[in-house]
Amino acid sequence: MSAGSADPNQEERRLRERPSILDLSFAELEEIVRGLDEPAYRARQLWISLYRTLTPSFGEMSTLARSLRAKLEQHYTVDCFETAVEERSKDGSTDKALLRLRDGELIETVLMRYEADDHRKRRKTVCISTQAGCALGCTFCATGQQGFRRQLSVGEIVAQVMRMERIARAEDNAEIAVNERSRGERQGVTNVVFMGMGEPLANYDNTLAAVRVLNHDQGLHIGARHITVSTVGLPDQIVRLGSEDVQINLAVSLHAPDNATRSQTMPINKRHPIEEVIEACRDYVAATNRKIFFEYVLLDGQNDSVDHADRLGRLLRGMLCHVNLIPVNPTTEGPYPRPGRAASKAFQEKLTTHGVASTVRMEKGIDINAGCGQLRARALTETR
């Protein structure tokens, strides 16, 4: 090879290692466009191509000048991952994807379809991950049993919703084609929950940046009240979230009414006992005047007795809150079976006596390992 010729392998490696443009905020895109000697309005065109029309490559962004597309292609990619496994539940209500990131790490994303009921319209909810693995080690959670790998970038978080948005839009378009009454309904994903792999508030900056991208009115434009961020209960971050200028929902994973019970399944409770968590939650409600949601996974024989319900009701009485009761998705290595329907109902009825509202969450995707981390765990086991 002559001294002046380029190494094709080096060029191929450079293209493969390009950063994802999905990691950039709108302000950063404006700066990039200016640096490429392009007019400022090109940044908005690029943003719309990425997040509103979901154009999968720079070459297909016909609203952009060809010269700009070529420049972007040289420096960035739109890709964040490839699909390793994709499954749909037997009832067709749930899709789960195992996604392989560019460095080989595996994460999960779930699309859940809900029909209309007496309280809510039809909706399509995406459950997304914020970390590869998780460091918190909750004993009933498949992800917690796998350990922590790394934080996800903003683009890796948002791209999960974009992937499921394409599926949801295609379904809506097919329905509209055969049913005129469907016209006018919002197409695509209606709700996003940060309840997949990892602890969102331990990846605070990237999680909030992803929320702002999802909520942006020139992109996916998912309403803030339709976005829920979940946490195991990190008090400082809960209070910090209460000061943010986004009207999202907060869900706190409680899973026990007292320190002794909670510490048995959630090691984080030894660092942040339940009193600290509840105090931070009360501060959050006072700052935002928004209802807080408590997630309570029901574990047979561990935290699902009427006495547990009575103590939980006393703990939460008077707070602006709602409790989601979730019969556990059993895992291969997890020690806790699913409680029966009668136990779940009795638990809920006891909460009601304290004036604490609750819902037993509808089960989705058990037949495709839709619980957090279960599909990744299965894939890793099969690989071994």
Selecting among 134, 281, 321, 372, the annotated active-site residue is 372
Strands, sheet with 94-101, edge to edge from the N-terminal-most edge strand: 81-88, 94-101, 106-114, 123-127, 191-194, 227-231, 249-253, 292-298, 321-327, 358-360
Phi/psi at 350 (5° precision): -65, -40
Strands 321-327, 131-133: pairing is unpaired
DSSP conformation class of 77: B
Structure-token pair, residue 47: 């943003």
End-to-end CA distance of the chain: 42
227 beta partners: 192
Catalytic residue (one of 30, 38, 108, 156): 108
Q: Nearest-CA neighbor of 192 among 156, 217, 164, 171? A: 164
Calpha distance 263→256 (Å, rounded)? 9
List helix spans (H) across the chain: 8-16, 26-35, 41-51, 66-75, 154-178, 204-215, 235-242, 259-265, 274-288, 306-316, 341-353, 374-383
108 catalytically annotated:
yes
Pull the structure tokens for residue 221. 């434009």
How far is residue 196's CA from residue 117's CA, in Å, rounded to a whole number? 25
Cα-flanking dihedrals φ and ψ of residue 119, to 5°? Answer: -110, -25
> CA angle, 314 as apex, 270 and 272 as ends, to 5°?
15
Amino acid identity of residue 169, one-letter, is R
Work out whether strand 191-194 and strand 249-253 pair parallel, antiparallel, or are unpaired: unpaired
Give the separation between CA 255 and CA 98, rounded to whole angstroms: 26
Confirm whether 372 is a catalytic residue.
Answer: yes
Which residues pair with residue 106 across a beta bridge?
100
Taking alpha carbons only, the member of 109, 148, 153 closest to residue 132 is 148
Tell me the catalytic residues: 108, 372
